[in-house]
Structure 1
Amino acid sequence: MMPTILRTERFSYFGAGERCGELVVAHRHDDSLVTDFTVSNNGRGAKLHEELAMDEEQLPWRWLVEGKSLMGGPVLDRFTGDDVSRQWTSQAETGQDAGPAKLYLPADTSPYCAWIAARAALANGGCVDALPHGRIHTELVHHTELHTGGAAVPVEVYLVRGRGLTPEYVIADATGAMIAWLGMGADMLVRDDFADQLPALTELESVLTHSHLERVQARIRHRFDGPVRIRGVRIFDPDTLKLTDPMSVTMFRDGITGVELDEKAVSVAGETVIDGDGGTLIAGLHDMHAHVKPIDGLFYLAAGVTTVRDMGNANDALLALTTNWDTGLAPGPRVVRSGFIEGRSPHSALFGFIPDTLEEALDAVRWYAARGYHQIKIYNSMNPHWVPALTAEAHRLGLRAVGHIPAFTTPDRMIEAGYDEVTHVNQLMLGWLLEEGADTRTPLRLTAMARAKDLDLDSEPVRHTLELMRERGIGLDPTAVIVERLMLSRARTVLPADAPFLSHMPIGYQRQRKRTYVPFDSEDDLRAYDESFPMVLKVLKLLHDQGIPLWPGTDDSTGFTVHRELELYAEAGIPTADVLRIATRDCAAHLGLGHSHGSIDTGKNASFVLLDGDPLQDISVVRNIRMVVKDGDIYYPHDIYTELGIVPFSSPPATTSQERTA
């Protein structure tokens, strides 16, 4: 006999302020829960059914999760346990544990899990050991009031750390019931009786996150009143594609004031000296495909990324974020903005503007131009017949035009319609893999990549597209790393892309990385992805050899994927020195920053990275970061990763003050 349902809670899931999913939580009389979570955003979304029961310590002793993950991959996660032992099996692994009870964290779950984790931690004094490993920390950070039915309801806001890659907030009322979950970004889950409080919750999340990041910035940012000298470093020269002899680089505030041979350098009064210890200094790296959130600034700086190109965002949030990063109020890279314009359909991505008419779309272009955006980005559901008018208006106003290939058209037609750049290597390749009229607003834009193994790169369609790109100077933002992750991630395995850093990460993130993302019916389907991904690398090499620019981006926010993007270019056969030049000088020039960024020269902006090793011998050395400088502010990845709950990868260089007087 099924347990009686005592009460049901209904929540709405919001992405960028628009409702795109729901969660139903049924509380049974035997203290068990049943949840059903569904999201649909940008043609994809999770669909999860969960059943769980908890003990007196608020620790689940039974937990079942089944359904589909974000990209449609299968989910089946089972956990059972008691006071003596626990067992589980999931896509990520099979395991068991004995001894004191711990909090199990499913690899795929709804945001309600954050409240389950918070309650377990609070019942154990604020922190609780997790399974398969790690710890969850929860602290009360804010008291406030929300309103429902005309009444003010006192609520408490808790910060939860350790479940995933970034902290998260949960809001509860005096009875201990969850009202909302707020990610440090654009997504949130709100109980339906508080849905009209969405603007207040959005503002609350923004205030709490910015306050948190301001405090972190005060701890990790190092800025000196006098000159700073970095000694004993070899500098990557993007013109000669070589490393220099040992050099000394001096900076003052946000500018490079001197670059000279180390053996001839003379100390000056009041300077701070940093020992480069024979490492390599390179200009700051770029992520040419980002969708930034406030918390992302920490990850980018720790990874040596000092400039990102945002490829679509909630407009007001992005403008506020860039102000905080540019002024140094919060930690983050320089941002070059792209204005997102999407078409209206059931598959629309919830960013930027979604116009209903061509005139509204043209107004969106003008809105972005008036606010100094670098370019517009066109997305999947856009009416392809509007594109010539949109690109013409963008060009008239001095903006570039880039984007996905809208559904029901081809890369060739969009290039002819005025595109200056194509976004994603799969978007380019789909023009050679799909019949005209295919609906790429759906996950087909990924799953069709399984056909790439049979692609003939010498075929007429391929040659025609490349000829168009060469003639018109069209580049590609490949995001090969995210294509690799989606095509090749497999249950219970660690991708080579993730192996260098994954064991340092919070357990929830580790488990997410060890699963199969793509939907499949048989092992033959998976083999097709395995056999097709090498064709992606061949396309990258072909484009490079044809003189078609590649702009390394990730569609991710961890920073680590920037490193992997560069590794993939090298694996494709592009010379390592060329890869490093592209990632530094060429990207800066492409973004209109070449006069001030992209190389380490006197008079240029002080934004560079200290590496331990020689990246020309092995591009993976870009992972070995000891220090990052952005606009003269010095950051040590060791400190940033400690703040994020990630085990650091390096130690800061030795720093001394020069007391000699002039």
Structure 2
Amino acid sequence: MRLPCLLTLLLCAASALQPARAADYVVLGQNEVAGHLRVETTADGRIETDYSYRDNGRGPDLKESFRLAANGAPRDYRGRGRSTMGAEIAEDFDVADARARWRSRADSGETPAGEDFVFIPLEASPGYYGALVSMLLAQADGSAATLGGLRIRAEVLARLTPDAATGPLALVAVTGADAQPWYYWVRDDATHALFAITWPSWAVMLQGSEALAPTLLARQQQAADERLIQLRQRLARPLGGVTLIRNVRWFDAPAARMRGPSDVWISQGRIDAVTEPGALRVLPERAIDGRGQTLLPGLWDMHAHLWSEDGLAHLAAGVTSVRDPGNDNAELQRLTGRIERGEVIGPHVHAAGFIEGKSPYSSRTGIVAETLDEALDAVSWYACHGFVGIKLYNSIKPEWVRPLTDKAHSLGLHVNGHVPAFMRAEQAVRGGYDELTHINQVMLNFVSRPGDDSRTLLRFQRVGSDAQAVDLSSPAVKHFIALLRERRTVVDPTLAAFEAMFTQAQGELDPTLGPVAGHLPVLWQRQMRVAPMDLDGEKLAAYRRSYAKMMGLTRDMHRAGVPLVAGADTTAGLGLHRELALYVKAGIPAPEVLRIATWNGARVAGASGQRGRIERGYAADLVMVDGDPSADIEQLRRASLVIQGQVAYAPAELYEAMGFKPFVGAPRMLVRPAN
């Protein structure tokens, strides 16, 4: 009996072996090759991936190995490599005996797991997600269980046959894992094999199909737009006629003072009057109870790289205006038009045109110029397409700065940006910069060494290691701050963008979103324990001391009269709240922080004649907060109502649409019955 059994086992094993097969993909950035993805199925059925790309001098390097069950569900996984910011990736999981067990550099745990359970790694490649999508589409209802008792779901939104050689493709949206859908293009056949992932200015395409990226992206945007249109139709509350906000405390932004309580009258998208309570005997179409609430001008995020799905998050946080300092130009113009026409939810957009120099480290956003003439032409293009300024980036040659700033100023454009490699911030200011972006770029003025190439991760690492030793009371620092004050040079610190990078140890909660973790999707909560850099021991202590110096420099610039604007450059909406809380933590009084987030933003963006204050004739871009953020800046999270011209939104409803737990309900609104 033993020989037949052995023969049977050998035959079964042989039949299980399949020829190895591989699929190769190209990672595109601004239609240029930026990296690769290889997905190989070995003879024994394991899937191996190799994923790497570079943009802006950084990017991930990841190799994975995983096995699928008969139903396509991943049963075990191993991922090793480096994250975008260079931190180690080391994650494993397996599903056995109805339990899923995992371990990463940030956490470990186990949970019950049925046959349809799927595990979502902290940092997986598109190859893993492609397998996940195929598995979901094979389920009767397109869904599967994941962590936290949640279910993720895949739905085919559109079908397309771009050409006969490619064959039919399907656009799939995966929901339930994030605040917005994940989109994938797959073969429209029984395999549902991954074909592409497309986003404006970035794509992963099956090798040889790169030319199809614009076609696929256009169809994906159409499907995404349809979803966003439906959301606006459901969530926007029209404000026809006259609206009265009664007995509300309100913030005088230019004076940085609370006033009231007062009655605030609104019609036709404008503020009509701010009066003593009960002073006007007019019957409005609706009255909003403002008792215990604070009315603020809408917040400005002056460093937001806007995507169409971000609109809900910004409005929910009371951010009614943003400056976008670097994006896919065509997509940003398209999105701006849709917001202005009232088709989709989003903040008012003031764009700064991104100009980068051609180098091996180039960011592939905006316009990448190989010569000075090309860069000067880019300035002209932005001036003719409604941009309020330009943003210069790391690979701009130092000798280009003066002619570019002169050209921009001659056309009425504001100039901000990174300090180009091999320059210091003082040289950029003297070369014509109106604004310095990021506090690390400012701090490099005091710590960079000859030959340091700030196009690489060194622009973070040098600051992390050396800023701790900077004497903020030294003549060099005082001289530089005096130069900024004298020239009225604006600084956009983006402290929140560096908080986790410089202070978080692996496994600790991300300090930027940690205070609101309980309001976020459960998968976000796990990802919040992944630090962007590998810091521990004395290195972590040094980086934390350096971060404290960056906060101190921000405080000292403000005290000296250097104009600041508030930009988050991180999670839409909630990231700005943390940015403002960090200013208070640094030592800037909360009322002055509120002025930075309202009046300063409008003034620097060139919109202070229309927005940024509560006064007759100004646009009704307003946020109502349940509490007093001038006494406690954390109260900003308790936005209860956001007014954007002739429509209002309840942040609670916007957060619920994103899968977030709301912070506070909407205020009481009385509507006069129609005659």
TM-score range, shorter chain: over 0.9
Establish whether residue 494 from structure 1 lines up as the match of residue 509 from structure 2: yes
1:139 to 155, 160, 172: 155
Q: Distance in 2 between matches of 1:374 and 1:658?
A: 41
The equivalent residue for 1:170 is 184
Q: Distance in 1 between matches of 2:193 and 2:315?
A: 34
Q: Do the aligned partners of residues 656 and 504 (structure 1) sit closer, same or farther apart at CA in structure 2, a change above 3 Å counting?
A: same
1:154 to 146, 164, 168: 168
Q: TM (normalized to structure 1)?
A: 0.95
Q: Deviations over 1:470-507 (max 9, x none)?
A: 22111111101101122123222113321232232234
Does the 8 A contact of 1:588 with 1:598 survive in 2? yes
The correspondence of residues 268-279 of structure 1 with structure 2, limited to 5 A, is: 268=283, 271-279=285-293
Q: CA deviation at 1:152?
A: 5.1
Q: CA deviation at 1:457?
A: 1.3
The equivalent residue for 1:130 is 146
Q: Do the aligned partners of residues 439 and 265 (structure 1) sit closer, same or farther apart at CA in structure 2, a change above 3 Å counting?
A: same
The correspondence of residues 446-461 of structure 1 with structure 2, limited to 5 A, is: 446-450=460-464, 451-461=466-476
1:191 to 189, 206, 211: 206
The correspondence of residues 524-535 of structure 1 with structure 2, limited to 5 A, is: 524-535=538-549
Establish whether residue 380 from structure 1 lines up as the match of residue 394 from structure 2: yes
Q: CA deviation at 1:177?
A: 3.8
The equivalent residue for 2:560 is 546
The equivalent residue for 1:336 is 350
Does the 8 A contact of 2:240 with 2:646 survive in 1? no
RMSD: 2.0
The correspondence of residues 44-123 of structure 1 with structure 2, limited to 5 A, is: 44-101=58-115, 102-123=117-138
Q: Distance in 2 between matches of 1:18 and 1:642?
A: 38
Letter in 2 for 1:122: L
The equivalent residue for 1:630 is 644
Does the 8 A contact of 1:476 with 1:550 survive in 2? yes
Worse-matched range after superposition: 153-162 or 279-288:
153-162
Q: Distance in 2 between matches of 1:390 and 1:226?
A: 48
The equivalent residue for 1:311 is 325
Q: Deviations over 1:3-58 (max 9, x none)?
A: 87621011112234333121100012333211111010001101111111111232
Q: CA deviation at 1:566?
A: 0.5
Establish whether residue 368 from structure 1 lines up as the match of residue 351 from structure 2: no
Q: Do the aligned partners of residues 409 and 552 (structure 1) sit closer, same or farther apart at CA in structure 2, a change above 3 Å counting?
A: same
Worse-matched range after superposition: 630-639 or 233-242:
233-242
Indicate the SS of the match to 2:357.
coil
Larger radius of gyration: 2
Q: CA deviation at 1:259?
A: 1.9
Structure 2 gaps of 5+ residues are 1-12
Worse-matched range after superposition: 271-280 or 325-334:
271-280
The correspondence of residues 423-502 of structure 1 with structure 2, limited to 5 A, is: 423-450=437-464, 451-502=466-517
The equivalent residue for 1:232 is 247
Indicate the SS of the match to 2:265.
strand
Q: CA deviation at 1:265?
A: 4.7
Indicate the SS of the match to 2:375.
helix
Q: Distance in 2 between matches of 1:133 and 1:21?
A: 36
Structure 1 gaps of 5+ residues are none
Q: CA deviation at 1:178?
A: 2.9
Indicate the SS of the match to 2:302.
strand
The correspondence of residues 13-28 of structure 1 with structure 2, limited to 5 A, is: 13-28=27-42
Letter in 2 for 1:178: A
Worse-matched range after superposition: 6-15 or 541-550:
6-15
The equivalent residue for 1:567 is 581
Letter in 2 for 1:71: M
Establish whether residue 555 from structure 1 lines up as the match of residue 569 from structure 2: yes
Q: Do the aligned partners of residues 380 and 535 (structure 1) sit closer, same or farther apart at CA in structure 2, a change above 3 Å counting?
A: same
Does the 8 A contact of 1:607 with 1:632 survive in 2? no
Q: CA deviation at 1:359?
A: 1.0
Indicate the SS of the match to 1:262.
coil
The equivalent residue for 2:531 is 516
The equivalent residue for 1:418 is 432
Q: Deviations over 1:233-261 (max 9, x none)?
A: 21112244332232222212311122222
The equivalent residue for 2:4 is none
Does the 8 A contact of 2:58 with 2:456 survive in 1? yes
Indicate the SS of the match to 1:342.
strand
Q: Distance in 2 between matches of 1:400 and 1:464?
A: 24
Q: Distance in 2 between matches of 1:56 and 1:274?
A: 58
Establish whether residue 206 from structure 1 lines up as the match of residue 206 from structure 2: no
Q: TM (normalized to structure 2)?
A: 0.93
Q: Distance in 2 between matches of 1:222 and 1:10?
A: 48
Worse-matched range after superposition: 470-479 or 172-181:
172-181
Q: Deviations over 1:198-230 (max 9, x none)?
A: 121221222222222111111111113222222
Q: Do the aligned partners of residues 5 and 490 (structure 1) sit closer, same or farther apart at CA in structure 2, a change above 3 Å counting?
A: farther
Q: CA deviation at 1:335?
A: 0.8
Q: Distance in 1 between matches of 2:471 and 2:234?
A: 54
The correspondence of residues 591-630 of structure 1 with structure 2, limited to 5 A, is: 591-630=605-644
Q: Deviations over 1:46-95 (max 9, x none)?
A: 11111111112322110111111111111101101124212111133110
Q: Do the aligned partners of residues 545 and 437 (structure 1) sit closer, same or farther apart at CA in structure 2, a change above 3 Å counting?
A: same
Q: Distance in 1 between matches of 2:347 and 2:31?
A: 25
Q: Distance in 2 between matches of 1:10 and 1:185?
A: 21
Q: CA deviation at 1:188?
A: 2.4
Q: Do the aligned partners of residues 437 and 99 (structure 1) sit closer, same or farther apart at CA in structure 2, a change above 3 Å counting?
A: closer
Tell me how many residue pairs correspond in the alignment.
Answer: 657
Q: Do the aligned partners of residues 581 and 614 (structure 1) sit closer, same or farther apart at CA in structure 2, a change above 3 Å counting?
A: same
Indicate the SS of the match to 1:354.
strand
Establish whether residue 288 from structure 1 lines up as the match of residue 302 from structure 2: yes
Q: Do the aligned partners of residues 477 and 180 (structure 1) sit closer, same or farther apart at CA in structure 2, a change above 3 Å counting?
A: farther
Does the 8 A contact of 2:625 with 2:635 survive in 1? yes
Letter in 1 for 2:52: T
Q: Do the aligned partners of residues 214 and 659 (structure 1) sit closer, same or farther apart at CA in structure 2, a change above 3 Å counting?
A: closer
Does the 8 A contact of 2:199 with 2:217 survive in 1? no
Q: Distance in 2 between matches of 1:452 and 1:178?
A: 49
Establish whether residue 645 from structure 1 lines up as the match of residue 668 from structure 2: no
Q: Distance in 1 between matches of 2:549 and 2:525?
A: 28
Does the 8 A contact of 1:17 with 1:186 survive in 2? yes
Q: Do the aligned partners of residues 276 and 57 (structure 1) sit closer, same or farther apart at CA in structure 2, a change above 3 Å counting?
A: farther
Letter in 1 for 2:155: E
Indicate the SS of the match to 2:125.
coil
The equivalent residue for 1:220 is 235
Q: CA deviation at 1:184?
A: 5.6
Q: Distance in 1 between matches of 2:657 and 2:534?
A: 36
Worse-matched range after superposition: 273-282 or 172-181:
172-181
Q: Do the aligned partners of residues 19 and 82 (structure 1) sit closer, same or farther apart at CA in structure 2, a change above 3 Å counting?
A: same
Q: Deviations over 1:154-194 (max 9, x none)?
A: 11111111333431211211142434343665432211132
Q: CA deviation at 1:275?
A: 2.4
Worse-matched range after superposition: 496-505 or 584-593:
496-505
Indicate the SS of the match to 1:467.
helix
Letter in 2 for 1:145: T
Q: CA deviation at 1:565?
A: 0.6
Q: Deviations over 1:562-602 (max 9, x none)?
A: 00110011001111111111111121122111111111122
Q: Distance in 1 between matches of 2:645 and 2:308?
A: 18
Indicate the SS of the match to 1:603.
coil
The equivalent residue for 2:9 is none
Letter in 1 for 2:235: I
Letter in 2 for 1:224: L
Q: CA deviation at 1:618?
A: 0.5
Q: CA deviation at 1:660?
A: 8.7
